[in-house]
Chains A and B, each alone.
Chain A
Amino acid sequence: MKKTPQKAVEKLAEQSYQYGFVTDIAEDTIKAGLSEEVIKFLSQKKNEPKFMLDWRLKAYKKWLKMTPPTWAHIKYDPIDYQKIVYYSAPKVDKNRPKDISEVDSKLLETYKKLGIPLHEHARLAGVAVDAIFDSVSVATTFKEKLTEAGVIFCPFSEAVQKHPELIEKYLGSVVPPEDNFFAALNSAVFSDGSFIYIPKGVHCPMELSTYFRINAAQVGQFERTLIIADEKSYVSYLEGCSAPMRDKNQLHAAVVELIAHKEAQIKYSTVQNWYPGDKNGKGGIYNFVTKRGVCQGKKSKISWTQIETGSAITWKYPSVILEGDDSVGEFYSVALTTNYQQADTGTKMIHLGKNTKSTIISKGISAKQASNIYRGLVKIGSKAKNARNHSQCDSLLLGNKCAAHTFPVISVKNKTAKVEHEASTSKISDEQLFYCKQRGLNEEDSIAMIVNGFCRTVFQELPLEFAVEAHKLIRVNLENNA
């Protein structure tokens, strides 16, 4: 009596990861393995000043003494760090193409396929893009317009050359190299990333965006992003990512540091769609990322929004240190896991200043055999008078083999603080599905609609174009579950 849409679903499932293609391009790749020599080679390749090399080597030495964290609710075989390639870049005659016309047409084609056109005439309206391919940035769009406004938006490697004083001052100031195992590794071998500086009083005229693409096999991507918003400035930054489908796991260990000065605002949005592995849990990206921002100045604000649909493993806790009085931290998250994906993600809100406020909204969706963990820390320091936090963690389960866990930790050292935590776990009810179907919607559309509804409060925080993208992504990622 019930017609199963199995065939249709299988067909959709096959196309569910659309970005799994490989770009056939000559790459300058070093041998796998990590040593001081590799770091020196890397640093030399990038023509880095001495302070940078010293910083890397110091981090490397610390890393050697560290062990990977084991507290997360994830399972994976130990990673052999000597089997990873720490540098791979598309071959170019010059060091770096000066403008788009010099960029290899295969690269342009790659980004076009990913929906990120880099050509002037086809660019995303109102969004400046830095395109990172394996270890290097291949193009940055809208440079002139940003320069006019005084905004610095360039590959990290370029910033090291042109603005060493800013790098020296801020690099590692929010996430010190010894912060954790993966941050230390990143500090030693990071290859490229984006650098942003918004001067005093400037409202950045467009959205800034980086698109990270892993292409070469065995390569680890270790990017470093540093965003500084000077007094009374504003910036909205978007980050997207994807990788080819391969049956071996690949490591991605990034570090992102944000600094918001007095009355500055940073809005950081991520749509993470790294290859999640196949339906049997083979392959996929290991995403071990440290993201942290500091609201240094009074009345500053940092807002993280993340849509995590990809990766075999996601280990990520975008956090805010609320140092300045009256500063605000926000974390909005949707994490969707399916098949054998594992996500252990959440945030830390560290309240140090007076009247600091934070909001956490986390939506976890798990399907099939996937595991989805929210891990959060809300810490109110002894001097944080009248600090406020509101946390809401909702989990949605699709099917009966998946799991959702929440590990919220609250630590309060000031009596005037107010901390609220709400949590819920639910399933899509038969009633809801029946209702949608009775109105003529098929099963996949119904589930996608209900899940998107569940995520709505988070999607609302995304810039419009990304919100549309997020809707589609949730749908595509769910289609093999209907």
Chain B
Amino acid sequence: MKSSAMLKIENLKVKVVDKEVLHGIHLQINPGEVHAIMGPNGSGKSTLANVIVGREDCQVQNGNIKFCGKNLLELSVEERALEGIFLGLQNPVEIPGVNNMYFLRAAVNSKRKKNGLDEVDVMDFVEIVKEKMALLGLNESFLQRAVNDGFSGGEKKRNEILQMLLLEPKFIILDEIDSGLDVDALQEVSRGVNSLRSPKRSMLLVTHYQRLLNYITPDFVHILANGKIVKSGGRELALQVEKEGYSWLNTKTIGDEVW
């Protein structure tokens, strides 16, 4: 069982701007599993997501992260991405003037190059993208706009999911993908995510509310508070949080939201 882990985090301590945010995280995610990390604001959820993908402002103090047996901490952000780790951001940045289609194709080609494949044929790519967009309820004009520039909150989230669908990552982290989405949008986004569920792919959903988990059912739920996983369980744990909030965890101090 141990050797088959996709992601394995051991005693991870992380500092952000001189303040320790994660105080010793242990987490193992096996192929095919969907894990949810829940917790109050400032508990370190986003830091956990960011440290896995290698954001430079997360300074690892202790512990390690292994991905498919490889030591992730030795890899750069882009190398981790090319290993198949994808982070869907809560509030993705705008890149003015860069055509969304161009960006998508560059990302896909970068991955193909790593796998020793030729660049994707432009016409073929357009067809693939259109098919994925239909799944997310996006229209074609979306492709001609600049990356995230002037996108509504919902459009940004859908764009993240679109990228995810095209890159077909091995391991998907979604950071508050549900925030600011209405029910229709949430359903479309979830449909996209669920379409990628497979025995070979794992996911880590970071969320404040359990609402998302009605649409994407996790195998495991972990509660993160004050930089530690204080409780792990199944789907029922999320429902308990919904009913009782986080107060029952008896967390006295709640730190500042870092991300």
Contact = CB atoms under 8 A, between A and B. Distances in A.
Interface string A445-459: 100011011111100
Contacts of A437: 76-78, 81
Contacts of B57: 430
Which applies to chain A's interface (DSSP): helix, strand, loop or mixed? helix
Considering residues A1, A435, A438, A454, which has the most beta carbons from chain B within 10 angstroms of its beta carbon? A438
Considering residues B75, B96, B102, B111, which has the most beta carbons from chain A within 10 angstroms of its beta carbon? B96
A68 to B, nearest CB: 37
Interface string A402-440: 000000000000000000000000000111101111111
Given A434-B77, A449-B98, A452-B97, A439 B56 contact: no
Nearest to A456: B97
Nearest to A451: B97
B78 A442 contact: yes
Contact of B97 (A2, A429, A439, A455): A455
A231 B73 CA distance: 68
A3 interface: yes
A266 B5 CA distance: 66
A457 B93 contact: no
Nearest to B77: A437
Nearest to A2: B76
Contact of B167 (A3, A436, A440): A440
B89 A445 contact: no
A66 interface: no
B244 to A, nearest CB: 35
A25 interface: no
B163 interface: yes
B98 A440 contact: no
Contact of A429 (B73, B89, B93, B110): B93
B89 A435 contact: yes
A450 B98 CA distance: 7
A434 to B, nearest CB: 6
B79 interface: yes
A430 B97 contact: no
Nearest to B96: A453
Nearest to B163: A439
A459 to B, nearest CB: 9
A445 B74 CA distance: 21
A477 B55 CA distance: 27
Contacts of A2: 56, 76
B133 interface: no
B93 A440 contact: no
Chain B interface size, as a band, is 35 or more
A441 interface: yes
A453 B110 contact: no
A442 to B, nearest CB: 5
Contacts of B249: none
A435 B93 contact: yes
Contacts of B55: 434
B16 interface: no
A3 B76 contact: yes
A442 B96 CA distance: 19
B92 A439 contact: no
B126 interface: no
A454 B94 CA distance: 12
A272 to B, nearest CB: 21
Interface in B80-97: 81-82, 86-87, 89, 92-93, 95-97
Interface in B93-151: 93, 95-98, 102-103, 106-107, 110-111, 114, 146-147
Interface residues of A, number: 26
A440 B103 contact: no
A443 B114 CA distance: 15
A77 B243 CA distance: 76
B53 interface: yes
Contacts of A452: 97-98
A129 B93 CA distance: 43
Contacts of B87: 438
Contact of A3 (B75, B86, B111): B75
A431 B95 CA distance: 10
A1 B80 CA distance: 12
B93 A439 contact: no
Considering residues A3, A434, A457, which has the most beta carbons from chain B within 10 angstroms of its beta carbon? A434
Contacts of B60: 1
Contacts of A456: 97-98
A440 B55 CA distance: 13
Contacts of A435: 89, 92-93, 95
Contacts of A439: 81, 103, 106-107, 110, 163, 167
A438 B82 CA distance: 8
Given A439-B163, A445-B106, A453-B146, A430 B75 contact: no
B39 interface: no
A453 B98 CA distance: 4
B77 A438 contact: yes
Contacts of A434: 55-56, 77, 93
B164 to A, nearest CB: 10
A3 B79 contact: yes
B110 A445 contact: yes
B155 to A, nearest CB: 16
Contacts of A443: 78
B107 A440 contact: yes
B110 A440 contact: yes
A438 B96 contact: no
Return the 9 tightest CB-CB contacts between A and B, nearest first. Answer: A453-B97, A453-B98, A456-B97, A439-B107, A437-B77, A440-B110, A431-B93, A440-B81, A437-B78
19 contacts: A430-B56, A432-B93, A435-B89, A435-B95, A436-B95, A437-B77, A438-B77, A439-B167, A440-B82, A440-B114, A441-B106, A441-B110, A442-B78, A445-B106, A449-B106, A453-B98, A454-B96, A454-B97, A456-B98
Interface of A: 1-3, 429-432, 434-443, 445, 449-450, 452-457
Given A432-B95, A454-B97, 15 more contacts: A2-B56, A429-B93, A430-B57, A431-B93, A434-B77, A437-B77, A437-B81, A439-B106, A440-B167, A441-B110, A442-B110, A445-B110, A450-B98, A453-B98, A453-B146
